[in-house]
Chain A
Amino acid sequence: MAEIPDHLLKRAQAAREKAQANQEPKVSPNEGVTAQTTSVVDDESLVQEIDEKAENILHQIQSGLNEKLISSHVAPNRGLWIRVSSKDWRETAQFLKDQLDCQFFDWLSVIDWMPSPYGRELDTEQDIEPETVNPEEQPIEWGYTGGQTRFQLICRVYSITLGIGIMVKADLDDQNPRALSLIPIYPGANWHEREAREMFGVTFDEHPDLRNIYLPGDFEGHPLRKDYPLLSRRMKPWPGVVDVEVMPGEEK
């Protein structure tokens, strides 16, 4: 392995100091219990933008779904997020298709909100920030519309007449993540649900054919879960600057 050049070490040190300096003022607001909501409020007060179309549609969803709607988020001109319970998953899709003319099925997937137990997998000598927190002790932080469980189902449907895409999220049970399949409403959900099943281990009830779509039939584990190790990185760390091979004829 080549020696790390001095100027690179200096640069990394400078960046590390700068990153630390940037982090210090941010420490206090993150300590609050309601860090989630405050950050959203901060975000909106900064932007000072109101997306009227999205607000109107959110209002329609609110009056249609009533108490089924757990929370919602409007990012002005970027999108509309709603969160429902996983037992209302299919009814919500039915509602969006019938009442809001969301005919276009865009995609469906799952987010695993658990912080990766393997850290950022970028740990080389050149890494700018040393790991300060043990990843396993990190609390789960959810994105827009909040959350309560590790796995969140997310699906996007689009209404061509209204010209808006709606992101629907639903919390899934930690031990036994399952939801009703959307195939009766959107036949296109078929492959997306098969992919979500093999990658995250989420079961879709009433799905006719939950075989693996990409992986071999006897594959064990669910690769996109955060606790599934990326083996290539386990075997050999990300090269960074130090591992760049010397070209033939080039001095070290």
Chain B
Amino acid sequence: MSLTSESDQLAYIASQAADARVNVEVETDEGMTLNLGPQHPATHGTLRIIAKLDGEKVVAAEPIMGYMHRGYEKLTEVRTYPQVTTLINRIDWLGSFANEVPFILAAEQLMEVEAPPRAQWIRTILFELSRIANVCLFLGDMAVQIGATTPVFYAFRDREFVLNQIERVTGGRFHPNFDRIGGLKDDLPKGWIEETRGALNRMQAFCDEMEELVLGNEIFQARTRGIGTIPSDIALAYGLSGANLRASGVDWDIRRDANVGLVYDQVDWKVWTHPDGDSFARFWVRLQETREACNIIDQLLGTIPSGPIMAKVPRIIKVPPGEAYVATENPLGEMGFYVVSKGDLTPFRVKIRSASFSNMSIAPWVLKDVFVPDIISILASLYFILGDIDR
């Protein structure tokens, strides 16, 4: 498009400005309304936040979602159990293997099937690998939201090694669809264990790098310490889970306290908590958890038992009538599936309890009375994936 005459150029600028005005800010009597998103780099997709401002201060903030609602709860009702995992892969797309596990475990509970030990081991390893793949991006992304561009490239670079390992087992980098009722689709490829150890070393080095580059950074600390503080009782009442909850000083981890079907009891590991509840604490806890995940995988790699990877399950899966709720400690927090079965090929009702939905529901509370730049850093530290909010 060429704008030759001056009047053409002016008209073009005026039309662009008119669009921008509608999208960005609306002056009202009670102060200014600032619209963030739905297309904004800080929103990880299509979250929209409407903030009412008084000067630089946020009077009220309201997240608006639904731009990516895909209706998975309805769609699961017309799919057979093995078909459902393809859908739920896409809920939290950064750590997708972890999404499959709670649903498969819920179905296994109803069928009274237990995966053989080797499958449980590999499941736990892949589960933790997806945690690393997911949280690794957070560690880089959080720094970007504060204003440091470099760490996210480091994160993407080193995350690749973990994704490669996931791909070598499952065949999919982002949507493995690898978990099956009663076990796993395939066994580990040859030489995988050694290569994974290499990737883990790489991750440990990445964590050290992040600690020096981001955590110790003066600007980072000034922007996160004491910002967006969430006390533990508020966090619990809003249903915050995962690292967000542990950063508020609540010592609760489903992997340790309510573990179903995975082998965390076979490993010597630690649940990290931080008493402060601010953005810094949330970053710190996630960083430690990434290291802990490396530690867990490292121990599990050395102790994988031999044996089959599938239990005996019928070829056509019919789940007996009943109800089951299984939750696991996913990278973003507690993810659970409430499965109601009527003994049919398809689930009767599946309620998906996704972590980001509850984690974001605290946003109106925590964004009150903060300054505008802190909206971004607090949202980044709460860490959400849009697919996990909208489902």
| Nearest-neighbor residue (CB-CB) of A160 within chain B | B252
Q: Are B252 and A128 in contact (CB under 8 A)?
A: no
Q: A192: which B residues are within 8 A, CB to CB?
A: 361
Q: Are A188 and B321 in contact (CB under 8 A)?
A: no
Q: Are A122 and B357 in contact (CB under 8 A)?
A: no
A141 on the B face (CB < 8 A) = yes
B256-271, CB < 8 A from A: 257-258
Cβ-neighbour of A144 out of B65, B240, B323 (below 8 A): B323
Q: Do A141 and B71 contact each other (CB < 8 Å), given the known contacts A116-B77, A190-B361? A: no
Q: A78: which B residues are within 8 A, CB to CB?
A: 109, 324-325
B358 on the A face (CB < 8 A) = yes
CA distance A192 to B351 in the complex (A): 11
A147-176, CB < 8 A from B: 154, 156, 160, 163, 165, 167
Q: Are B74 and A224 in contact (CB under 8 A)?
A: yes
Q: Do A128 and B66 contact each other (CB < 8 Å), given the known contacts A186-B237, A188-B361, A238-B78? A: no
Q: B209: which A residues are within 8 A, CB to CB?
A: none
Q: Do A111 and B340 contact each other (CB < 8 Å), given the known contacts A78-B324, A144-B323, A233-B78? A: yes
Give the interface size class of chain B: 35 or more
Interface Cβ pair total, 8 Å cutoff: 116
CA distance A105 to B252 in the complex (A): 14
Cβ-neighbour of B74 out of A156, A188, A213, A230 (below 8 A): A230
Cβ-neighbour of A214 out of B65, B342, B351 (below 8 A): B65
Q: Are A107 and B69 in contact (CB under 8 A)?
A: no
B161 on the A face (CB < 8 A) = no
Cβ-neighbour of A106 out of B78, B234, B239, B344 (below 8 A): B239
CA distance A111 to B323 in the complex (A): 11
B238 on the A face (CB < 8 A) = yes
Q: Are B340 and A213 in contact (CB under 8 A)?
A: no
Q: B318 → chain A, closest Cβ, in Å?
A: 9
Interface string of A211-249 (1 = CB under 8 A from B): 011111000000110001010010000100000000000
Interface string of B49-67 (1 = CB under 8 A from A): 0000000000000000110
Q: Are B336 and A212 in contact (CB under 8 A)?
A: no
CA distance A75 to B338 in the complex (A): 14
Q: Are B349 and A111 in contact (CB under 8 A)?
A: yes
Cβ-neighbour of B322 out of A111, A143, A167, A228 (below 8 A): A143
Q: Are A112 and B349 in contact (CB under 8 A)?
A: yes
CA distance A20 to B362 in the complex (A): 51
| Nearest-neighbor residue (CB-CB) of B75 within chain A | A230
Q: Are B238 and A105 in contact (CB under 8 A)?
A: yes
Q: Do A128 and B239 contact each other (CB < 8 Å), given the known contacts A120-B78, A214-B65? A: no
CA distance A128 to B318 in the complex (A): 12
CA distance A128 to B250 in the complex (A): 50
A130 on the B face (CB < 8 A) = no
B63-109, CB < 8 A from A: 65-66, 69, 71, 73-75, 77-78, 80, 109
Q: Are A188 and B237 in contact (CB under 8 A)?
A: yes
Interface string of A78-119 (1 = CB under 8 A from B): 110100000000000000000000011111010110001000
Q: Are B237 and A230 in contact (CB under 8 A)?
A: no
Q: Are A144 and B322 in contact (CB under 8 A)?
A: yes
Q: A73 → chain B, closest Cβ, in Å?
A: 9
A39 on the B face (CB < 8 A) = yes
| Nearest-neighbor residue (CB-CB) of A164 within chain B | B258
| Nearest-neighbor residue (CB-CB) of B364 within chain A | A190
B353 on the A face (CB < 8 A) = yes
Interface string of B181-199 (1 = CB under 8 A from A): 0000000000000000000
B1 on the A face (CB < 8 A) = no
A187 on the B face (CB < 8 A) = yes
Interface centre among A15, A104, A122, A224, by most chain B C-beta atoms within 10 angstroms, is: A104
CA distance A215 to B68 in the complex (A): 10
| Nearest-neighbor residue (CB-CB) of A226 within chain B | B77
Q: A199: which B residues are within 8 A, CB to CB?
A: 73
Q: B66: which A residues are within 8 A, CB to CB?
A: 212-216
CA distance A186 to B321 in the complex (A): 31
CA distance A106 to B252 in the complex (A): 14
Q: B114 → chain A, closest Cβ, in Å?
A: 12
Q: Are A188 and B77 in contact (CB under 8 A)?
A: no
Q: Do A109 and B351 contact each other (CB < 8 Å), given the known contacts A120-B345, A163-B258? A: yes
A43 on the B face (CB < 8 A) = yes
Q: Do A105 and B239 contact each other (CB < 8 Å), given the known contacts A122-B345, A215-B66? A: yes
Q: B69: which A residues are within 8 A, CB to CB?
A: 214-215
B338-382, CB < 8 A from A: 338, 340, 342, 344-346, 349, 351, 353, 357-358, 361-362, 365
CA distance A169 to B334 in the complex (A): 21
Q: Are A120 and B344 in contact (CB under 8 A)?
A: yes
Interface centre among B66, B334, B344, B362, by most chain A C-beta atoms within 10 angstroms, is: B66
Q: Are B362 and A103 in contact (CB under 8 A)?
A: no
| Nearest-neighbor residue (CB-CB) of A127 within chain B | B345
CA distance A120 to B346 in the complex (A): 8
Q: B258 → chain A, closest Cβ, in Å?
A: 7
CA distance A75 to B236 in the complex (A): 25
Q: Do A105 and B353 contact each other (CB < 8 Å), given the known contacts A163-B258, A188-B358, A215-B66? A: no
Q: B339 → chain A, closest Cβ, in Å?
A: 10
Query: Which residues in B have some Cβ–Cβ distance to A below 8 Å?
Result: 65-66, 69, 71, 73-75, 77-78, 80, 109, 233-234, 236-240, 250, 252, 257-258, 316, 321-325, 327, 334, 336, 338, 340, 342, 344-346, 349, 351, 353, 357-358, 361-362, 365, 390
- Name 14 interchain pairs, CB-CB below 8 A, sorted by A: A78-B109, A105-B236, A105-B237, A116-B77, A120-B78, A128-B345, A141-B321, A160-B252, A185-B237, A187-B365, A188-B362, A191-B361, A223-B74, A224-B73
* Complex A-B, nearest 7 residue pairs according to Cβ-Cβ distance, in ascending order: A214-B66, A188-B238, A188-B239, A214-B69, A121-B78, A103-B236, A107-B353
